[in-house]
Amino acid sequence: MTAKHFIGNAWISNGDIIYTKSPSDQSQICDYHKGSQSTLEDAIHSARTAFESDQWKSRSRLRAQFLIELADGIRSVEEQLVLMITSESGKVISQVRHEVKAAINECIYYAGLSRAQFGRVAEFDSGQQSLFTREPIGVAAIIVPWNAPATLLIRSLAPAVAAGCTAVIKPAHESAGSHGILMQCIARCSSLVPGAINSVNDGGIAMSQMLVSHPEIDVISYTGSTATGKKIMEAAAGSLKRLSLELGGKSPAIIFEDASIDQAIDEIVRGAMPHSGQMCTAIGRVLVPKNLHSQVVALLVNRLSELKIGHALSSDSQIGPLINEAAAERYSKFVDQAKKDGEMHLTGERLDSDQFGSACYVSPTVASIDDVNHSLVQTELFSPFLLVETFVDKDEAIHRANSTTYGLSASVYTKTTKWAQRAARQIKAGTVWINCHNRLMVEAETGGYRTSGLGRLHGVEGLAPFLETKHIYSEFGEW
Ligand code: NAD
């Protein structure tokens, strides 16, 4: 398969052909066409024309039907899509199966919401009427990373469609083949109005950079790192675009002294290691009372050393490789830094033996660092790296949990309801799980406080980035 651009319901094969690689074995996976400025201009023009035509934005039943068709379409290629995402992202296949099911579920949820949007009417004084309508904002730019190419695309696209927006998508180049399969599903939907959804591949970031400052884009729905989110905010300022930013995180897990330690360790191992720690909500910090430190460290080391590292397509692998050489090198530097400044409990290393070839497999790290201002505590490491920190009382636990600039998610482990509820309210994060981690669901809003983002996706609020509210006022006076 060669992944092409999709513009105005036509496949466009302009641009040099490059290919994606498997992080698991470095093999060539999928060819794709690289975009150009003129291809991007065509895609934006196509989305604008479709938006202004009224064929899409005024027909909520049609858009709901499209989302149902898309759910069916993804289901019909589920196994092909699972294999492609696994190959391109290096995420182990069991986790990818879950991701694809979540994307299907997302389409169905927003198909319902597409048909369930109403305005409001108010009469603030006699003889007056205020009508509040919700209108789609216009053309949405959707920019997504490689780490969950199905869920993260549909999580932005489905509410954009439900709201009545048209879209230009810029996928991550690392997962161009996975995105190509999703675009084929979109193209097969008979209810898609030509031009309503367009997609342009990129060999790097050039297309994205043009997209985020383009005057014909009304809203940017971006998922990716905080550093890029800041650049996008700057680039979008010129035309004052609406921004929905889903950015990085550094999730803390607080174990209180009365917690069920075994249950907490189970959840923390599962919550820290999905996709080798390359997940925005992955636990990066474990906060424990001083007297539980050695017990928790021993259990974590034990469990993490047992995880089976291997090819993402192998059904018994629990940890796959990091995405690329740059990520593996960055990880080695983090480990070296921790050796210098912290206490090592499990020292992660590059596994480049005969068994692993030249791919980027690394084993997990567990280290303790006391200094809350240390860069390893403050930075998103996006790798299988767990820091253990200690606290003397609950206030210090909360203070530590809130001490990075991130605020995406957190979890709290305790048998005492009031501790759990108090902690959940005091932690500055968009999601706090109690006695579990990473229970993401389409009905529940997700998003970040502080440098983890702006706005929410999922749930009813997921529609908000794509809608404007209009007040229509009339006076009808006396008899
Ligand atoms: P990234 O920011 O490098 O890239 C993400 C996307 O942005 C890609 O499509 C890329 O081509 C594009 N991009 C890169 N530079 C750009 C620029 N200057 N202008 C416009 N677009 C640009 O992120 P990544 O390393 O690929 O992904 C990992 C990051 O994404 C992590 O920080 C992770 O926490 C975050 N993430 C967040 C969520 C969430 O829901 N909050 C979900 C998944 C990933």
CATH number at residue 291: 3.40.309.10
Report how far apart the first and last C-alpha atoms of the chain are (Å, whole number).
Answer: 70
219-to-4, 84, 381, 394 alpha-carbon distances in Å: 24, 29, 29, 41
Closest CA to 369 of 396, 401, 402, 338: 338
- Indicate whether 53 belongs to any domain: yes
Conformation bin of residue 133: beta by default, left when phi > 0, alpha when psi is -120 to 50: beta
Q: Is 408 in the pocket of ligand 1 (CB under 6 A)?
A: yes
pTM attached to this predicted model: 0.97
Distance in Å, CA 225 to ligand 1 centroid: 4
- Structure confidence by residue, pLDDT tens digits, 98-129: 999 999 999 999 999 999 999 999 999 999 99
217 C-alpha vs ligand 1 centroid, how far in Å?
19
Residue 478 lies in a domain: no
pLDDT at 149: 98
Considering only CA atoms, which residue is closest to atom 32 of ligand 1? 225
Q: What pLDDT shows up at residue 279?
A: 98
Note whether 295 and 223 are same-domain residues. Answer: no
Q: Does a structural domain hold residue 439?
A: no
Q: Residue 145: CB within 6 Å of ligand 1?
A: yes
Q: Does the active-site annotation cover 246?
A: yes
Q: Answer yes or no: is the C-beta of 220 below 6 A from any ligand 1 atom.
A: no
Place of tokens 């196994």: 79
Same domain, 224 and 334: no
Residues 292 and 333 in one domain: yes
Active-site residue identified among 88, 106, 174, 246:
246
Domain-embedded: residue 477: no
User: Is residue 443 domain-resident?
Assistant: no
Shared domain for 402 and 278, answered yes or no, is yes
Bridge partners (DSSP) of residue 223 are 246
Closest ligand 1 atom to 228 CA: 2
Does the beta carbon of 232 sit less than 6 angstroms from any atom of ligand 1? Answer: yes
Identify the pLDDT of residue 354.
66
Q: Are 299 and 259 in contact (CB under 8 A)?
A: no
The answer on 456 and 428 residing in a single domain is no
Query: In what helix (H) or strand (E) does residue 190 lie, and over which residues does it extend?
Result: none
What is d(CA 362, CA 347) in angstroms, rounded to the nearest whole number?
10
27's tokens: 């093999």
Residues 169, 22 share a domain: yes
Q: Which of 30, 165, 280, 360 is catalytic?
A: 280
> Given the DSSP bridges, would you call strands 385-391 and 283-289 parallel, antiparallel or unpaired?
parallel
Residue 11 CA to residue 7 CA, distance in Å, equals 7
Residue 461 appears among annotated catalytic residues: no
Same-domain pairing of 459 and 370: no
Alpha-carbon distances of 88 from 24, 46, 83, 108, 117, rounded to whole Å: 8, 29, 9, 26, 37
Contact between residue 150 and residue 85 where contact means Cβ atoms under 8 Å apart: yes
440: in domain: no
Query: Strand locations in 8-93, DSSP E?
Result: 10-12, 17-21, 28-33
- State whether the beta carbon of 64 lies less than 6 angstroms from ligand 1: no
> 379 and 456 in one domain?
no
Please tell me the predicted confidence (pLDDT) of residue 353.
Answer: 65
> Taken in order 469, 471, 472, 476, is the CA torsion positive or negative?
positive
351 and 308 part of one domain: yes
Q: Does residue 298 belong to any structural domain of this protein?
A: yes
Residue 291 and residue 190 share a domain: no
CA of 154 to the centre of ligand 1 (A): 16
Does 215 map to a domain?
Answer: yes
pLDDT digit string (tens) for the chain, length 479 residues: 899 999 999 999 989 999 999 999 999 999 999 999 999 999 999 999 999 999 999 999 999 999 999 999 999 999 999 999 999 999 999 999 999 999 999 999 999 999 999 999 999 999 999 999 999 999 999 999 999 999 999 999 999 999 999 999 999 999 999 999 999 999 999 999 999 999 999 988 999 999 999 999 999 999 999 999 999 999 999 999 999 999 999 999 999 999 999 999 999 999 999 999 999 999 999 999 999 999 999 999 999 999 999 999 999 999 999 999 999 999 999 999 999 999 999 999 999 766 777 779 999 999 999 999 999 999 999 999 999 999 999 999 999 999 999 999 999 999 999 999 999 999 999 999 999 999 999 999 999 999 999 999 999 999 999 999 999 999 998 88
CATH number of the domain that residue 23 is part of:
3.40.605.10
Ligand 1 pocket, 225 CB below 6 A?
yes
- Residues paired with 121 in a beta bridge: 131
Q: Note down the domain range covering 216.
A: 2-247+448-472
Q: How many domains does the chain have?
A: 2
Strand duo 197-199 + 166-170: pairing: parallel
Same domain, yes or no: 423 and 461: no
Whether 243 and 351 map to the same domain: the answer is no
| Strands lying side by side in the sheet with 431-434 | 343-346, 365-368, 385-391, 283-289, 251-255, 409-413, 431-434
Residue 55 token pair: 């064929």
Rounded to the nearest angstrom, the distance between the alpha carbon of 287 and the centre of ligand 1 is 27
